Amino acid sequence: MRTADSKDGTTLAFDAVGSGPPLVIVGGAFSFRRWKGTLQLVELLKSRFTVVNYDRRGRGDSTDAKPYAVEREFEDLQAVVDAVGGSAFAWGMSSGGVLALRAAGAGVSIEKLAMYLPPFVVDTTAHVPPADFEARLSALVEQDRRSDAAKLFMTQGMGAPGIAVGLMRLARPMWSRLKAVAHTLPNDLAVMGDTVYGKPLLREPWASIATPTLVIDGGKSPASLQKAADALAGRLPQAQRRTLEGQHHNVSMKVLAPVLQDWFVR
């Protein structure tokens, strides 16, 4: 494990594995650097890249300074990039991809970016969180009711069926891992801003982000997320679109890895 210090004093834990140009993995909601799928992706990419896998603030072995602001996460990402050479490629899953994209737009030294299933909600045909969702989520986190926060995020935020979440809670090792980072869920909601409430995606800030970006979805992804990927790619000036046939939210890393390799080595 290595560490990098962000501007506000937060210490960010990361691993750098492999050889080649640095590729930073930016996790989304519930993820941290020791997540099984993330570790599998590291193994699949390390022969071509120095894969940099970090814990976002408040997760895993990273610390957290208050108050939170999305801009602090931009600074975090720049600190990690500086620690591995000053510029890097970046890959982000879900809200992690949106974080990386916003960071690139804010000047973080990301040369090229790929992202899977940006979780925008661009119309009301999809599940839209209730108006009080942010307040309820923040209240649960402040009360350290992490299990309840995780359940609320999945059901009211993501639209997962309550029965499915109930079954997940019975899988104690997995649910414990989710609970361990549930206090950071308001951060992911802040990263997304007002893009999850069923409104068409605005032109800005996306049209001003010149970083070459590959926007990926899965052929079995919900139609709402496919629309979101199309909307974002249509706003970005240097975007390419790719659909991974047969894939849904839990994308196969064996399918994803060669796509990322091809994109970043062009």
DSSP for 141-203 reads HHTT-HHHHHHHIIIIIS---HHHHHHHHHSHHHHHHHHHHGGGHHHHHHHHTTTTSSPPPPS
The per-residue pLDDT for range 51-73, each reduced to its tens digit, is 999 999 999 999 999 999 999 99
**Local confidence band at 260 (pLDDT 50, 70, 90 cut-offs):** very high
pLDDT tens per residue, range 192-244: 999 999 999 999 999 999 999 999 999 999 999 999 999 999 999 999 999 99
Distance CA 180, CA 112 (A): 31
pTM: 0.95
Which pair of tokens denotes residue 196?
């999850």
What residues does 218 pair with on adjacent strands? 244
Query: 83-125: per-residue pLDDT in tens?
Result: 999 999 999 999 999 999 999 999 999 999 999 999 999 998 8
Residues of the chain with CATH 3.40.50.1820: 2-120+201-265
Rounded distance between C-alpha atoms, residue 108 and residue 124, angstroms: 33
Contact 197, 123 (CB under 8 A): no
> Of 251, 32, 249, 238, whose CA–CA distance to 160 is shortest?
249
pLDDT of residue 1: 94
Domain 2-120+201-265: give its CATH architecture: 3-Layer(aba) Sandwich (3.40)
Return the number of other C-beta atoms located less than 10 Å from residue 44's C-beta: 17
Strand residues in the chain grouped as ranges (E): 2-5, 11-18, 22-26, 50-54, 88-93, 110-116, 213-218, 239-244
Place of tokens 């602001």: 69
- Tokens linked to 47: 């022969």
> Which band of pLDDT confidence, cut at 50, 70 and 90, is reported for residue 263?
very high
